[in-house]
Structure 1
Amino acid sequence: MGKSLIDIAKEVIQTESDSVLLLKDRIDQNFIDVCHTLKSCMGKVVLIGMGKSGHIAKKISSTLASTGTPAFYLHPGEAGHGDLGMVSHDDVVIMISYSGESDEIIALLPGIKRMNVPIISMTGNANSSIASSSDFHLDVSVDKEACPHNLAPTSSTTVALVMGDAIAVSLISSNNFTSEDFAMSHPSGSLGRRLLTLVSSIMKSGKDIPMVSKETLLIDSLLVMSEKALGMVLISENEKLIGIFTDGDLRRALESNVDFQKVAIGDVMTIDCKSIEPQEPALIAMKLMEKYSLNSLPVVDSSNNIVGAINMHTLIQAKLF
C-alpha cells in the first residue's frame, strides 16, 4: 500500500522547509555586496528567468517594486527579439536559472555584458555558464526536489523565492522604506487606503457639522444631534471648539435627572475633548478613537476652529477597518 496523501504532503513541506533553512548559512559578505549593488542602482532591477524560474523572477520583481526598489521582469525569449532594449546602462540584472545553463538566458549574456551592467545570478550550480558570467552569484542549490522523481522544480523554486524575499526585505531596512512609502505603491490596497486617506476627505463639514453655542438649551441641542446623526454635538464659541456632548453624555444626563427644557448644553458638555486636524491621516483618527474609546471626534484647524466632524461610522464607510 502506497503512502497516504497526508504523508506525501507532509514530506513535501518538510523537504522544502529543510531546503530553505540551508539558506541561512549562505547569507554572507557576498549577500551584503549584492544588497549594496542593488541599493546603489540608479536605474531599475531587471529580473530574468525562464519557465518556473521565470515565475519566481516575476514574483521577486513585484516584491522589489512594491517595497521601494524599482524592478521589472524581462522574458528572455522576448528579450532576444528586441525587448533587451528595455535594459539601460543604469540597471542591474538578476538572472535566475537553477541549472545555470538556460539557453535563452545564455544567449542574452553577450548583449548584457556589452552594456557593462552588474549581473547577479541565482543558480544551483556555481560552476555553470550563467554563474561564471555574473559579477555576483547567489547559491540557491537544494539537496533534492520535493518531487518524488527529483525532477519538477519545487524545493528549488521555493528556495529562489525565499532568497529574493531576503534581498527585498533587507533593502527595505537599508532604504529606510516606511509603511507610508508602502502605501504609496499600494493605493488600491487596504493598507494604502488606511494610510493615504486623510481626515479632510471623509469628515462631515459645513452644514453637516452638528454644532451649537454653549447657551443653546439641551433639548434643542439634542434635535441638532439627532438631525446630523453623528452621535454628538459640538459646542463652539466664536467658531472655536470648547466642548462636546455625545451619546455617553446623554446617558449620564438622563441618570442625573437633568431638566432638558431648562439646562443649557454648556452646563453638561464635556470640556477638554480630544480632536484631530484635517490634514492628519484617517488612520490616526481611528487609533485615537480606539485608544480613548471614542465614537465621535471633532476636527479642528491649528487655531482650534471647528472645521469638521467624524465618527466610527464615517471610518467604516471609508473602509478603514
Structure 2
Amino acid sequence: MSTAVPFDAQRALALAAQTFEIEAAALQGLAARQDEGFTRAVEAMLRCRGRVVVMGMGKSGHVGRKIAATLASTGTPAFFVHPAEASHGDLGMVTPGDVVLAISNSGESDELAAILPTLRRLGITLVAMTGKPGSTLARHADMVVSSAVDQEACPLNLAPTASTTAQMALGDALAVALLDARGFREEDFARSHPGGSLGRKLLVHVADLMRSGDALPLVREDTGCIDMMREMSAKGLGAAIVVDGDQRLQGIFTDGDLRRQVEKGADLRQLTAGAVMHRSPKTIRQDALAAAAADLMELHRITSVLVVGDDGRRLLGMLTIGDLMRAKVV
C-alpha cells in the first residue's frame, strides 16, 4: 500500500506541465507515423455499405465510444460494441459490409483476439488502431493506423495517458478526413444536432418564429399618434407598423422614436403616424435563417425586424429579439 506524502503544490504544477509536454509531443509525432494505413482506412470507411463498428477494451473502449459518436455526428454511421460482450451475443450486431475499427494500444487484448476469427469469417474489413505494428491485432487487420507514442505521461509509464490522447486525436483525424471526403456541410451537421445551438441556428427560419396576423400592431399613415400608441400598448411589441390598404409596408414607429419625439417637445396629439414614422425599416424575408435576423438586429442595434415578401414591400410579419431568445437562437 502506498504511503501518503504531504501535498506539494509546485510539484503538482510541474507534473501538469510535464504531462502537457509529453502529450503534445505524442500528438506531434503522430503525423510522421501516418502512412497509407490511414488513407486506406479512410477509404474503407468512406466506401462502407454498412456501418463503422468501433471496439476497444478498458481506456481504449472509453476512447472508442467517443470516436463512434464523433463519426456518427459527422456523416459516418457508427456505433460502439464492447469486445467482451461481442463474444456473448453482441457480435450479432456486426454484419457483412461493416467496417470494424478495433482499438488497442498493445494490440494483444484477449477480448479482441477472441473475436478476430469470427470477424474474418464474416468478411469484415478490419482496421486496427494500435501502438504495436507487430501485434496480434495488427497482423489480422486489413490495414493498421499507428497510434504509437514514445512514452506515457504517467510518471510510472504505466497508466494510459499519452496513448489514449493519441487514439482520441486519430479518431478525430479519421472523422475530419471522412467528413471532408463526403462533402459534409454545416447544414448536414445541424440535421444530426437539431437540439443543439448550431442546429437551431442552421435549421430555424424567420417564418418559424415571426409574429403575424392579429398579433401585429398595424396602423395607417393617417392614424393619429394617440391611437397608434394604444395599438402599440395592446400588442406589446414595442413598435407600430405602418401599412397601406394593400398591406404594403410604409414605415415603423418604435418606443425609441416615441422617446425621441417626447424629448424634443413634439405635441403628439396633433401628429399622425405618417408624420413621425421611420420610412426605411430593416426588413428580412421569411425564408431567411433566424440567425440572419439576429445578425441584422445586432448590426443595426435594433430589437426587431419586419418580415416582407419577395417584392420587399408586402408585410408578412415581425420578429423581435425576444422571439429569438425564447427559441434559443441567440
Q: Provide TM-score, normalisation by structure 2.
A: 0.91
The answer for the alignment partner of 2:34 in structure 1 is 27
Report the aligned-residue RMSD: 1.9
Whole-angstrom CA distance in 2 between matches of 1:138 and 1:320 = 40
Q: SS in structure 1 opposite 2:242? A: strand
Residues 1:276 and 2:284 are matched in the alignment:
yes
Greater shift in the superposed pair: 102-111 or 49-58: 102-111
Whole-angstrom CA distance in 2 between matches of 1:162 and 1:65 = 16
CA deviation map 1:54-90 (0-9, x unaligned): 0010000011111111110011111111211111222
Runs of 5+ unmatched residues, structure 2 = none
Whole-angstrom CA distance in 2 between matches of 1:282 and 1:54 = 40
CA deviation map 1:116-135 (0-9, x unaligned): 22211100110111111111
> Percent same amino acid at aligned positions?
44
The answer for the alignment partner of 2:135 in structure 1 is 128
Whole-angstrom CA distance in 2 between matches of 1:126 and 1:27 = 12
The answer for the alignment partner of 1:308 in structure 2 is 317
- Aligned pairs for 1:213-252 (under 5 A) are 213-237=220-244, 238-252=246-260
Residues 1:158 and 2:173 are matched in the alignment:
no
Whole-angstrom CA distance in 2 between matches of 1:269 and 1:176 = 48
- Aligned pairs for 1:103-118 (under 5 A) are 103-118=110-125
Greater shift in the superposed pair: 292-301 or 253-262: 253-262
C-alpha displacement of 1:256 = 4.7
C-alpha displacement of 1:278 = 2.8
Give the residue type in structure 2 aligned to 1:282.
A
Give the residue type in structure 1 aligned to 2:189.
F
CA deviation map 1:275-295 (0-9, x unaligned): 223333211211121122221
C-alpha change, 1:181 and 1:216, in structure 2 (3 Å) is same
C-alpha displacement of 1:255 = 4.6
Q: 2:99 aligns with which of 83, 88, 92?
A: 92
- Does structure 1 retain, via aligned residues, the 8 Å contact 2:95–2:122? yes
Whole-angstrom CA distance in 1 between matches of 2:266 and 2:59 = 74
C-alpha displacement of 1:300 = 2.5
Number of residue-to-residue matches in the alignment: 321
Q: Which runs of 4+ in 1 moved over 4 A?
A: none
- Does structure 2 retain, via aligned residues, the 8 Å contact 1:197–1:281? yes
Runs of 5+ unmatched residues, structure 1 = none
Residues 1:57 and 2:64 are matched in the alignment:
yes
Whole-angstrom CA distance in 1 between matches of 2:66 and 2:297 = 38
Whole-angstrom CA distance in 1 between matches of 2:46 and 2:319 = 42
The answer for the alignment partner of 2:273 in structure 1 is 265
Whole-angstrom CA distance in 2 between matches of 1:29 and 1:152 = 30
Q: 2:187 aligns with which of 171, 174, 180?
A: 180
Whole-angstrom CA distance in 1 between matches of 2:29 and 2:182 = 27
CA deviation map 1:216-257 (0-9, x unaligned): 112221221222222211111111222222233334433554
C-alpha displacement of 1:264 = 1.8
Give the residue type in structure 1 aligned to 2:286.
P
The answer for the alignment partner of 1:12 in structure 2 is 19
Whole-angstrom CA distance in 2 between matches of 1:177 and 1:267 = 52
Greater shift in the superposed pair: 257-266 or 95-104: 257-266
Q: 2:84 aligns with which of 77, 90, 114?
A: 77
Q: SS in structure 2 opposite 1:261? A: helix
Greater shift in the superposed pair: 26-35 or 96-105: 26-35
The answer for the alignment partner of 2:296 in structure 1 is 288
Whole-angstrom CA distance in 1 between matches of 2:279 and 2:37 = 61
Give the residue type in structure 2 aligned to 1:98.
N
Whole-angstrom CA distance in 2 between matches of 1:72 and 1:92 = 11
- Does structure 2 retain, via aligned residues, the 8 Å contact 1:230–1:310? no
Q: SS in structure 2 opposite 1:273? A: coil
Q: SS in structure 2 opposite 1:119? A: strand
Q: Provide TM-score, normalisation by structure 1.
A: 0.93
